Structure 1
C-alpha cells in the first residue's frame, strides 16, 4: 500500500503537540570554550557547527559591527565564514578581507565564497566563474579559499563547463575544496559524479534549511549521504522569522522593513509559518531558552548538516545565536518539531 504524504498539524494543533512532550531542561554538551568541529561529508575539511554569513556586510553591516562579529565567532572557536562575490557587489568580501588583514590569523578561518551571479542573473560559464574567483581572492587578500561554491544553476551553460571551472580552481591551488549552492538534487548528483571522475570531488552543498524550509530532505540530503558531500545550511532561522520577532508586527529595524530585503523575508510571513513559530516559542519557554536558540539547535543538528550559517546585523545578535552552541534538543522535542513541520513526501520520493 502506498503511504500517504505527511501532513503537518493545523496551526491550532501545533502548540499542544509541543506542550504534550515538553518536560525538563535540554541536555548541555560540554564544549568548554571551543565550538564543535565537524567533517564536511566524507572529506577531510572540518568546519565549526555554526558559521558566520556576511550577506549584509558592507551595506547594512558596517566595519565596526563586522569586526565585532568576526571576533565573537573566533572567540568561541567558530571557524567558517561564508561570503560571495555578489554580496554587495563585492563589498562584503572587501570588508572581510580588510578584517582578515588586520591581525586575524588566516589559518583560524575556514573561508568560503561563492561565484556565478552577475547583476542578479546566474552565469556559471568558465570565464565568469574564474574571473569571479580571481576578483574574490584579490578582495579577500588571500591566495586561496578553503571552499568555493557555484552560487546558482545556470541553464545557459553546460554543466560540464561549470564543473571544468571548479576542477581548474582546485588544480591551480586557488581553492582547496569545491561545491554547489541552490542547485536541484539531480543536477548536484550529476556534478558530483563528474567531479569524482575528474579528481577533486565535491565537498559540499550550501542550501536553505530550517524548520520553515525542509525541502532539501526530499532528495538533497539523501544524495549527500550517498555521494559523500556535506550540507551547509543557510538561513537556519527561517530568514529571521523563527526568532519570533515578527509575531505581532514588523519591527522598523528588521530585514522585513528593509527596502532591499523585504522580499527575502515576506514569503515566510504566513499563517503556516506563524504556527511553526508558536511551536518553537512553546519549546523555548519550556526549556528556558530563546526561540532563536531552539531553531538554531534544530537546524545545526539535523541529519547531514555539517554547519548552520547565520547572518547578524550586529555582534549582539550573533552572540544570541552562538548561545545555542550548548543546547542539545531533547529527543522528544526534536521529534515533535520534526512532525509538525514535516515536508510533504510522495511519489517518487516515497513510493
Structure 2
C-alpha cells in the first residue's frame, strides 16, 4: 500500500487508515483481529480510533491486540479526545485538563506509552483555542504524542490554532468527513490545509455506508440505518440528492466492473490533497473491497463525471 507524507511534516502514513468505530460494540474481538490482519497484509499501518468510540472499548480492543500478536512497531495509532460522556450524553470539552486526562486514559487502554497522532475530536466553542493548543503542546513535549492535529474543525478555527502554534509543535493534520456525498471541505478547509502546509485525513469516504448502494431500495435490517445508535448518523444521506449521486455511482461502477464501494473510495484516493482516508467495516469481508480499491486507478473521465454530479453548492464569498 502506498504511503503518503502528511503535509510538510515528517510523518508518513498509509493512504488507507483502518477505522475502529464499531470495534467492541458491533465488531467483536475476533472479527476486529481478522480486519487488522487483512489490513496489515495489504500494507496498511494507520489505525484510527477515539476515546469516545464505544466508551473506550475500541481502544481497549487495540490494546488487547498489542498485548498479544501485534507488534507496536507494525502499526501507527491515531486517537482523538475532546468528547466526554455525561449523564446527558456526549459533551464537547477540549479544555486542557479534560484533554490530558483523556489522553492518559487512552494510553492506558491502548497499552502503549505514546500515540503517533493525537487529534482534538471536535471544535469547542467555549474553551479558548490557546488552552487546547497548550494541551497538544504538552502531549508532544512529554512524548505521549508524536504528532497532533484537529478533527471536524471549521476552517477558521483550524487556521487560528495552526497559526497560534508558531514556535510550538506544529498542528500537522486536519481530519474531516469527505466523500461524494460530503464535499464541504473543498470550500475552505482544503485550501487552508494546503496554504498552512498541513496534511488532510478524510473519514467516511463511503458516505456513512450509503455509497455501497445498500440503501437504494430499502433499509436492510442488519445495517447502520436500522440500528438504534447509528440510524441518526446515516439518515442525512438518505435524501433525494444522495440517491441521485449514489445511482450515478452505481452506473459508473457497473461500467468499470468494480463494486460501488471500490469506486467511491477510488474517487477519494485520487484527490492529491488527501494523505489518508479512514475505512471502517463491521466485518473483515466488508473490508475487502476497500483494500481492493487502493490498488485501482479511477479513469479521469469517470472521476470528472462523478465530480460533476456530486458538486457541492458554492457561493459567496468563496465564489462570486
Q: Same fold (TM over 0.5)?
A: yes
Alignment of 1:214-293 (within 5 A): 214-293=183-262
Q: Find the aligned partners of 2:12 and 2:290 in 1 and give their Cα distance.
A: 20
Q: Does 1:323 align with 2:289?
A: no
Structure 1 unaligned residues grouped into runs of 5+: 1-34
On the 8 A contact 1:167/1:198 being kept in 2, the answer is: no
Secondary structure in structure 2 of the residue aligned to 1:203:
strand
| Structure 1 stretches of at least 4 aligned residues deviating more than 4 Å after TM superposition | none
Q: Deviations over 1:276-296 (max 9, x none)?
A: 011111110101100100000
Task: Kindly report the root-mean-square deviation, in angstroms, between the aligned alpha carbons of the 2 structures.
Answer: 0.8
Work out whether 1:161 is the aligned partner of 2:131.
yes
1:118 to 66, 84, 88: 84
Matching of residues 1-351 of structure 1 within 5 Å:
35-119=1-85, 120-195=90-165, 197-351=166-320
Contact 2:269/2:294 (8 A) holds in 1: no
The Cα shift of 1:200 comes to 1.0
Structure 2 CA distance for aligned equivalents of residues 168 and 139 of structure 1: 20
Deviation at 1:105, TM superposition (A): 1.6
Matching residue of 1:19:
none
User: Given that residues 122 and 153 in structure 2 are in contact (C-alpha distance below 8 angstroms), is that contact kept between their aligned partners in structure 1?
Assistant: yes
SS of corresponding position for 1:222: helix
CA contact (8 A) 1:234 1:310 kept: yes
Following the alignment from structure 1 to structure 2, what is the Cα–Cα distance between the partners of residues 241 and 233? 16
Cα distance in 2, alignment partners of residues 116 and 226 from structure 1: 26
1:303 Cα deviation after fit: 3.1
Structure 2, gaps ≥5 residues long: none
Which secondary structure state, in structure 1, belongs to the residue aligned with residue 207 of structure 2? coil
Following the alignment from structure 1 to structure 2, what is the Cα–Cα distance between the partners of residues 222 and 201? 18
SS at match of 2:171: coil
The 8 Å contact of residues 52 and 73 in structure 1, kept in 2 or not, is answered as yes
Q: Could you tell me how far apart the structure 2 residues matched to 1:101 and 1:322 are? A: 26
Rg comparison, structure with higher value: 1
- CA deviation digits over 1:157-193, x for unaligned, max 9? 0010000100010000000000000010000000111
